[in-house]
Every structure is written in structure tokens, then in C-alpha cells.
Amino acid sequence: MSVRTAPAHRVVAAVAVAGLVALGAAACGGTTKNSTDNAGSGGGPKPSASANPGAPTKKGLTVAYLPKQVNNPYFTISDTGGKKAVEALGEKYKEVGTSSGTDTAGQVSYVNTLTQQRVNAIAVSAQDPGAMCTALNQARRGGVKVVTYDSDTNAGCRDVFVSQASSEDLGRTEVQLMAQQIGGKGQIAILSAAQTATNQNTWIGFMKDELKKPQYKDIQLVKVAYGNDDAQTSFQQTQGLLQQYPNLKGIISPTTVGIKAAAQYLSGSKYKGKVQLTGLGTPNDMRAYVTNGTVKAFELWDPAKLGALAGYTAVALASGQISGAPGQTYTAGDLGTFTIGADSVVVLGKPTVFDKSNIGQFDF
Ligand code: RAM
């Protein structure tokens, strides 16, 4: 396990996002089928309806970020966004985490250490929905506020989940992008992150549901492979998919590490431009592959804004301005006003689809 402080990141242009309410379990961002079934499970404290929206923002709080993986550029961007937001409020920021996206025991041990250190809030992206539950609820009973961001734990084990977008929209739009790119026909595969990842599994659930619609009757999902958010594993898994399925027409990779590795493999192979690739990637990682014709279009939210929203939410919880109960509203600096939705989920906004017409406008 390693500890690091994220490097400084450029200032991100402020965009006001109107308060978005997650409208229901199926539609709301990041609520997994699993966590919907277990909503409120995990034995943790339930959010009390009472909060004081007018309470002053406490100063000098420590907000600790525990990403899925510290050496993943996506989390460097998100947590740097978090650092800026937290420090601008007069709080202390720290980041700890494992260097592997599949070290669930490592994540648990970081939660225990942060609890002992009596941090005021933890913002965590979960590698697994259930693994951290006991540790997180112990932290919460000791007064630590817990925000999940990017990838949720079970709903009963955190105060608020800050979701990047509607999970349903993300899952369905990735299938829509793929279908356009392959002309609605042929075999496709998914290259995911860790097999236990809450966020990827939720999106894949919605992809499978989207694929049931009659307009996709000529598309067959032949395999879900796991690259564990490791570049080399993801590269090898891509190679393996093409060996196993020589007629493969497309790959959806809902992970920034996976899509980059798959693009790298495809662009150096005979499949370049023939096997389509979409999913979730950063514009900076994908620019070269869009330019050289390997990738047509993919999508993502701004990770820095996600990290910032997690920080604002953690501070609002630790200041008593919100308790996490649905319907509560709070201000997240220049991101605007947000309302807590069903299952205590807050949604950042809509993702952006990047292609050669607009990718030049983005720098993250
Ligand atoms: C990877 C991680 C992260 C996910 C992005 C899209 O960096 O798996 O959890 O949200 O991809």
C-alpha cells in the first residue's frame, strides 16, 4: 500500500449544474441492483431528517480521499479537484489508497487507519460494494462522515453517494454509441475493470438491459472480460478477446484504464478502424486514438468536478448542513446547488460525448 498526495491540477472552468434529483432506484446514478436490494443494509446509522442548512461551514476539518486506486490518472484528476474544493473551504485534504484496483483488503485497512486518525470525513470510491461496510460503519459510529464517489458501497454503509451521472444513462448510451458505430449488427464484448467494481457492474447491468430492446436483435454480447484497471492486463484481455472472437465487431470499455489499453492494442493491430471501441475515457488519453482513426466516439464526465462535489458534500455533512436524507439541498461552491435524491444519491450531471469534432476543446 502506498500513500501519496496528488499533484496540483489546473483550474477547471466553473459550470453551474442545477440541482439534480435522482428520481428513483432504477434511474438514479450509481444505485446498483445489489445496493437497491440492500438499501439501508449494512447496519449503519440511518440519516436523520434533521439538519441545519444555515449552519456555518466548519473550518479545519480533515477530509480524506480514498480512491479505488491511487496511481490511476482518472483519480489523480478527481482527487486534485477534491483537494482544491476542500482547501478553498479552509479544510485539510489528504489522499491515501492502494496502487491496485483489486486490493479490497487494502481499502478496508485504510478506512480503519483513517478512523483511528479521527478524520472528519472520508470520500471513498469502492472497489467492491460490501467489503468496506463494517469498517465504514464503525467509522460512522465514531462520528466520521462517509461519502462515496465514483463507485458506491451498499447504501447502508455511507451517508451520501456522489454519482458522476445517471448510471442508467451511462449504460444505455454506451450501447447506443456502439450500435451506431457497428451499424447495429455483430458480436460485441465488454472490457471492464475489477470483477467486483460497483460502478462498472451497475453500468453493465444497464447495457445488458438496453441490448434486450428489439433494435439490437442483431447484436450479440459474447463476453465480459476484466482488465482490473491494470494497463497490461487490459491490453492482454483485448488481445485475448480478438483471438477468441475473430468476428468481433466492437468493444465497450467502461473504464478509463481499459479503453486506453484497448485503443493502444487496436491501433497497433490489423483491427484498427475495423473493430470499433467505445466506453469511458479521458479526452487526453484518447485524443491520439481519435485522431488516428482507432476510436470514433466515447464519453465521460469531468472527474475534477466529481472530486470537488465529493469534497463539498463531505464538508456539508461534517458541518451539519445536511444529514444525507433525500430532499436536502446544499451549495457546492461554483458547481451550484444540489439536492439529495433517493437512496441518498447526488448526481453530478450529464456526461459529454467526445469525438473528433469536439475533443480539441477538452484538456483533462
Ligand atoms: C476507471 C475507474 C473508475 C471509473 C472510470 C470511468 O478510472 O474504474 O472507477 O469511473 O474508469
DSSP character string of 54-123 = TSPPPSS-EEEEE-S-TT-HHHHHHHHHHHHHHHHTT-EEEEEE-SSTT-HHHHHHHHHHHHHTT-SEEE
Ligand 1 atom at minimum distance from 194 CA: 8
Decide which of 300, 318, 341 is a domain's last residue: 300
Among 124, 199, 230, 298, residue to substitute to test ligand 1 (most atoms within 8 Å of Cβ)? 199
| Strands of the 186-192 sheet, one edge to the other | 219-226, 186-192, 248-253, 276-279
pLDDT in tens, 28-54: 333 333 333 334 456 788 777 789 999
pLDDT in tens, 94-110: 999 999 999 999 999 99
The cell for 63 is 477530509
As for how many domains the chain has, the answer is 2
Summarize the confidence of residues 183-202 as an average pLDDT: 98
Range of the domain at 232: 167-300
- Whether 56 is in a domain gets the answer no
Summarize the confidence of residues 227-240 as an average pLDDT: 98
Summarize the confidence of residues 311-330 as an average pLDDT: 98
Specify whether 322 is located in the same domain as 292: no
Report the CATH number that the domain containing residue 159 is assigned in CATH.
3.40.50.2300
Q: Name, in order, each residue with C-beta under 8 angstroms of 240's C-beta and a sequence gap of 6 or more.
A: 225
Summarize the confidence of residues 178-193 as an average pLDDT: 98
Specify whether 112 is located in the same domain as 180: no
Specify whether 218 is located in the same domain as 229: yes
- Whether 3 is in a domain gets the answer no
- Could you tell me if 124 and 148 are in contact, meaning their C-beta atoms sit under 8 angstroms apart? yes
- Whether 112 is in a domain gets the answer yes
pLDDT in tens, 247-275: 999 999 999 999 999 999 999 999 999 99
Ligand 1 atom at minimum distance from 68 CA: 9
Binding site membership of 285 for ligand 1 (Cβ less than 6 Å) = no
- Whether 1 is in a domain gets the answer no
Specify whether 121 is located in the same domain as 239: no
- Whether 245 is in a domain gets the answer yes
- Whether 23 is in a domain gets the answer no
- Whether 51 is in a domain gets the answer no
Could you give the C-alpha distances from 346 to 73, 79, 162, in angstroms and in order? 24, 18, 5
